[in-house]
Structure 1
Amino acid sequence: MVATQEMITDSWVRASWEEFLVQAERPEYEQARCYYDNGCMRIETMPVGSGHSQDNTVLAQTVSLYGTVKNIRIKGFTNGSFRKRGVRECQPDLAFYVGADFQIPPKTSQPVDVDQFGAPHLAIEIASTTLNDDLGRKRLLYERLGVQEYWVVDVDAGEVIAFEVFDGGSRQIQESKVLPGLAIATIEEALKRSQTEDDGTLNRWLLETFSGKKEEK
């Protein structure tokens, strides 16, 4: 058993599923983000900075508006937990079910049951202090969980590194597959604009871009 006084946070630690559940349910980790995969757990307790929270908002707005304009059925989750019981669990910054066939998970205090509802089609991690882990160990977690697409946002670089997941692996893409026609470059442009534009101005630009209308000067 991983003893309370020996618990190491913000790193991957060998643990059983039962040990993970004990740690994840500790009151002091109520605001932490919890991951479990391949016999290891990671409890993230690092504070979220301004850059992380702003980029999180931009990505949520971008995906939601794209779905609205293109008439794509979407259900989003912010910091939601997704659990394949006994095997793995994750808590991405953003996750989306996309398409005509998914069932909307009910509102409960429990993680979304992946065995019942499937993995989200798109998972997004905003990386301000966790970039290497998001591109490495977590990428493997999401591949094994069964997401169709995984994006990592490098807050410092303003870069979106997007992967299509298939056949047990992943490859980098420049245009979304689950949101057809959405170029990764457009998302990066939105992140750049968000540094100087308020949300209303940015959203109007996104709507004009997605609908094919030129921005009026």
Structure 2
Amino acid sequence: MAPSTSTAPQATAPPTDTWVKATWADFLAALETPPYNEGQGYFDNNYMRLEMAPLGGGHARQNSVVMDVVSLFAMRHGLRMAKFINGSFYKTGERGCQPDAAFYIGPNFRLPPQDNAPIDVNVFGPPTLAIEIGGSSFKDDLGAKRLLYERLGVGEYWVVNVAEQQVIAFAVAEGGSRQIQVSAVLPGLRLDLVEAALSRSQTEDDTALIRWLTEALA
């Protein structure tokens, strides 16, 4: 008689692009498991969201344009600044995020070490400015992720609507947020100027765009 065999139940792969109930340990384990380790992960209020959507030319281009605007403005105005692309920011056990772009701005921030560890918000503080470039994730960027960044304590949160070249920006304070038209963490930067740069990027190359930005920010 052949020996009986049994198959261990297979772990269910977590769904992507939606929030699911999870522990912090579940979140960390998912981000160490292919293919999720090549995506973006968010954790807040005992829920996690894994994003694996391909990032097209609109997302990639508009992300670079927004970073150019912030960097040029900071340089023009003598603001100390450090930017992070798709960096992981963790408040261990409570929340984690991977914004498309994040900036520390101001005289007092400490530069995190240049290693592969997520940036510890308890040590280095939350980013001054967090930015999400919203294609398929646009509605969630304005909803649950906005709450995440409020709880994390960023200074400002921007959402870029790729389809419309629109920037929806929020000042964050005391666990809440309000929509703004002029940045406070980049004092005097109008969000309509960022939108104008995004619009120009549809037809202009970077050399022409940077030349225009340099003049506009003078």
Which residue does 1:29 correspond to in 2? Answer: 36
**2:122 equivalent to 1:127:** no
Verify the 8 A CA contact 2:73 2:217 in the aligned structure 1: yes
**3-state SS of the aligned residue for 2:170?**
strand
Deviation at 1:28, TM superposition (A): 1.5
Q: What's the TM-score, normalizing by structure 1?
A: 0.95
Q: What's the TM-score, normalizing by structure 2?
A: 0.94
Aligned match of 2:120 in 109, 113, 121? Answer: 113
- 1:146-171 superposed Cα distances (whole Å, 9 cap, x missing partner): 00100000000111000000121000
**3-state SS of the aligned residue for 2:12?**
helix
| 1:192-211 paired onto structure 2 within 5 Å | 192-211=199-218
Deviation at 1:5, TM superposition (A): 2.5
- 1:48-96 superposed Cα distances (whole Å, 9 cap, x missing partner): 0111011001011110111111111110000000000000000000000
Partners of 1:169 and 1:81 in 2: CA distance:
22
| 1:175-194 paired onto structure 2 within 5 Å | 175-194=182-201
Which residue does 1:156 correspond to in 2? Answer: 163
Partners of 2:65 and 2:102 in 1: CA distance:
14
| Runs of at least 5 residues in structure 1 that lack an aligned partner in the other structure | 212-217
**3-state SS of the aligned residue for 2:35?**
helix
| 1:44-193 paired onto structure 2 within 5 Å | 44-193=51-200
Which residue does 1:40 correspond to in 2? Answer: 47
Which stretches of structure 1, 4 residues or more, deviate above 6 A after TM superposition?
none
Verify the 8 A CA contact 2:30 2:37 in the aligned structure 1: no
Number of residue pairs matched by the alignment? 209
Partners of 1:198 and 1:6 in 2: CA distance:
42
Deviation at 1:121, TM superposition (A): 0.3
**2:31 equivalent to 1:17:** no
Partners of 2:207 and 2:36 in 1: CA distance:
35
Letter in 2 for 1:128: G
- 1:3-54 superposed Cα distances (whole Å, 9 cap, x missing partner): 7434111110000111111111113222100100000001101110111011
Partners of 2:13 and 2:57 in 1: CA distance:
31
Letter in 1 for 2:147: L
Q: Calculate the aligned-residue CA RMSD, in Å.
A: 0.9
Return the index of the structure with the highest Cα Rg.
2
**3-state SS of the aligned residue for 2:30?**
helix
- 1:96-120 superposed Cα distances (whole Å, 9 cap, x missing partner): 0000000011101111000000000
Q: Percent identity?
A: 53
**3-state SS of the aligned residue for 2:104?**
strand
